[in-house]
Amino acid sequence: MAFTIDPSTYLLVLTGAGISAESGVPTFRDAGGLWEGNSVTDVASPDGFRVDPLLVWKFYSQRRANMTGVSPNTGHRALVELERRLGERFLLVTQNIDGLHAAAGSERIIELHGNLMRSRCTVCDRDPFEDRTAYREGVAPMCGRCKSAGHDALLRPDIVWFGERIASAALARLDAFILTAGARLRFLAVGTSGLVYPAAGLVDVVREHGGKSWLVNAEAPANVGRFDEVAIGAAGTLLPQLFA
């Protein structure tokens, strides 16, 4: 398996739901995944939230409740070790909102799609804040600051839904790392079906900059042909061996 890094390597890692699967967190598109029984547009889009905020809060409250007692696995920890070895030549960008990379000790991390354990107001400009509350069914949380200012405003999960922009600071940080690395860039995608943009486009951006792309995934995803090296298997097993 020619996933070799050397003292000049800049390593960009992209993770998806597959890296948290061995921690017991359901993925989206595997059998039994989150998109079974839930319509993506109803529960993960701004239109869905506008139409039925209670349904959306039920979906995310259930996912918050399901995170109780869930801990990072050997795959998350292998990436922490890589970060320790490479320092500023390492950057992790995750599509996951489960917070498990930070819980494992990753620090150089971009949460591209936000974080399940944060909420923000749909009206005022208060900063997103930590909110682990799994709201009871039928309860849509309201903003306390707006309430004291005399009007009602719904809170929402601090998450990027379909059709919503990725935070510009996150994209800028990604671009800066890729530009600094140039042809020294190695891109490792782990546990993602490669269907959601702009994350799914990173493999092409890396190629444009002369970098090499590697994939660790339980099965070959649709974009498997765009990777230079592919290792099929469980992240929790393969990642610790990859750069040993």
Tokens matching residue 88: 């500023």
The count of residues interacting with ligand BV8 (CB under 6 A) is 36
Q: Which of residues 163-202 bind ligand BV8 (CB under 6 A)?
A: 163-166, 191-193, 195-198
Tell me if residue 113 is catalytic: yes
Query: For the chain, what is the radius of gyration of the CA atoms?
Result: 19
Question: Structure tokens of 2?
Answer: 């020619």
CA–CA dist 208, 200 (Å, integer)? 14
Nearest to 162 by CA among 38, 21, 26: 38
Peptide bond into 53 cis (omega under 30): no
- Segment contacting ligand BV8 (CB under 6 A): 83-91, 154-162, 175-183, 207-215? 154-162
* Residue span 69-108 as binding mask against ligand BV8, x where in contact by CB under 6 A, dash where not: --------------------------xxx-----------
Q: Nearest CA to 242 among 195, 201, 186, 181? A: 186
Is 218 among the residues that bind ligand BV8 (CB under 6 A)?
yes
Interaction between residue 158 and ligand BV8 (CB under 6 A): no
Catalytic machinery residues: 113
Contact positions toward ligand BV8, by CB under 6 A?
16-18, 21-22, 27-30, 33, 44, 95-97, 113, 159-166, 191-193, 195-198, 217-219, 221, 234-235
